[in-house]
A and B are shown apart, each in its own frame.
Chain A
Amino acid sequence: MRATTDPTGGTADRRGEAHLWLLLEEALLAVRSADVEPWEAWRSYRAVADALISTDLVDASVAHALVGELDDALAVRGVIPAGAFSAAPWPDVDVLRRPRPATPPGAATTWLEAEIERHLDLLASFSVEAQGRAARDLVRIVGGPVRAFEAVGHLSGRDAVALQGEVVASLDAAGVDPGGPAEPDAEPRAEWVAFLRNRPPSLPEPFVSTDARLPARTLGPLADTTTRLDAIAWTTDAIRLELTVRPPRGEIRSGATTAPLHARILDDTGCLHLGQPVRAGRSGGGLHVFLRPGFGPGVRGFDLRLTRGGERLEVSVPL
């Protein structure tokens, strides 16, 4: 089932909203299936809504209203508790017409790669027995945003297949069951495979560094913010980045500037370091980002990638 024509005669930017309405109907169909756990259907829906909000492809209040619509439909069906029924009013046309910043080209791929790496970091924490199910969850959960970006025209079919193929091939090459075969010509990403195979230990608590540098370097603009790398400290198990984020003056844009910040490092020995995203306050300020594993011997520098929403900043940092 697919609604391909916007009957509103409105702007093409309504494609994100149209896709979420389509997914709502699919979610209602899915929860009637014995094969789908209702909360998983809800989680998948939220994952797509969050992806479209983060990349400014749908207004956040419209997406949240749609999540509320799904909640209400599930509540009246007894799938979730009746107390979840909110009957919140649908946004007025002024909200639906509200202009949003243009989504830059490549935003979908940028967002997806950060989200995949966020999941890989989580996956590395699971036991070998649990990793298989977590891997299949990863493939399924990421599949929703992939399809959404394709539907709204921000990811080509070929790129969608290629990215999903890389994920499956990487999981398979790392010895983790992805739940299905990879595309025949899909290539695993070496850094993803190595990260999963190496199974980095959990972040140490407390973090006590064995070495540190103070670059005090402004990295550049990212989604209407400016980020500075103040310090980097590490052990062999973990890295701590100290960042300062300054939002622009004036009204803070919805979506990307309030989207969490995702950091990853690829050092000059080819080792990938991943962690979980952090969220800056609306007024900006300091952030501590923890990545794992730490730096081994012989690391002389690294490439730092920061992602916020659908935008990315990459810099090389010597140690």
Chain B
Amino acid sequence: MTAPAWWAAVPAATTILDCGDARHELRWEAGQLHLEGHADVEAERTLGALGAEVPTCLRVRDAWAAHATDPALVTLGRRPGEPGLGFAPEHAPPLVGGLHTPPKRPRPSEPGRREALVTLLSLPVAFVDRLALTAMADAAERWPDPSFRERHGLRLGAGLAARAGPALHRFGRPLAAAGEVVLVHATPCPPAGRVSIRAERTGRGVEVSASLPISWLSRVWGPGLSEPDGRFVIALRRSGEVDVAEWMAVGVDRWEAERRPAQLARNDDTGAWRLRTTRP
């Protein structure tokens, strides 16, 4: 059985948009954006091309379709611990009309990248999170392409390090003595490369070096699966099953993390993920 789609563990999100004189529901579910209240999108698009005002919902949908896989979203998206981000409608740059007000003149049929990103980043943060996850998932798909890696590899590597770093730091903490520094170096695996997590005590402290796939961002970190019960999740195997990391000593002051299968369950009261380790 193959691993589930990256969006399988990401809950749906909904919001209400002021769209002309109406209020329409915008919903993200199963990796897709859904519009309610626009029965004939193509007809409305044709009217827009002829100079009619383009409804807000269509602007959002077109911007999402065109830019949801933009690697810049990995840089723009939230890092661990950030409370929220995005443009408040009243603070959106003057070039782009407020998301919840009708545009004063017909929108161009293909808004530029800046206008589209501002539109998307003016959505509620739950949508911005899913937008960033979409970009991360697409980056994981394109990772085997050498020219994609050459152009975006350093950006994605830094984005992976920023999101995996805090969890890896907590994972390495038990290896360190009281007051000893824990340093983390997290880098992306090359295509078809092996995941590895190692630790070594050096003159600088305990240094944790991790090589993780880019897909870890969308499949593990994004859905909030990276640290159930304080354990570090390496990969999602199939629905409800993960590989967690456990330290094994491989020498004096040297450790390697081994994979241990475990089952996930969600706490009904808190919504937090919990796990149960299963030994092979």
Contacts and interface: CB of A to CB of B under 8 A. Distances in A.
Contact of A9 (B146, B159, B187): B146
A28 B121 contact: no
Contacts of A93: 147, 150-151
Interface stretch (B9-17, B86-94, B239-247, B255-263): B86-94
Nearest to A14: B154
B76 A17 contact: no
- Majority SS of interface residues in chain B? helix
A76 B77 CA distance: 9
B185 A4 contact: yes
Interface in A11-62: 14, 17-18, 21-22, 24-25, 28-29, 32
A82 B92 contact: yes
Contact of A87 (B85, B114, B183, B185): B114
Given A4-B187, A86-B114, A22 B161 contact: yes
Given A7-B187, A32-B81, A72-B72, A90 B152 contact: yes
Contact of B72 (A28, A69, A77, A83): A69
A87 B72 contact: yes
A96 B150 contact: yes
A271 to B, nearest CB: 42
B79 A29 contact: yes
A76 B125 CA distance: 11
B23 to A, nearest CB: 25
19 contacts: A2-B161, A3-B158, A3-B186, A4-B187, A9-B190, A24-B158, A25-B158, A29-B79, A72-B75, A76-B85, A78-B91, A85-B87, A85-B117, A85-B118, A87-B114, A90-B72, A90-B152, A92-B151, A96-B150
Interface of B: 71-72, 75-76, 79, 81-82, 85-88, 91-94, 113-114, 117-118, 121, 146-147, 149-159, 161-162, 165, 183-188, 190, 209, 211
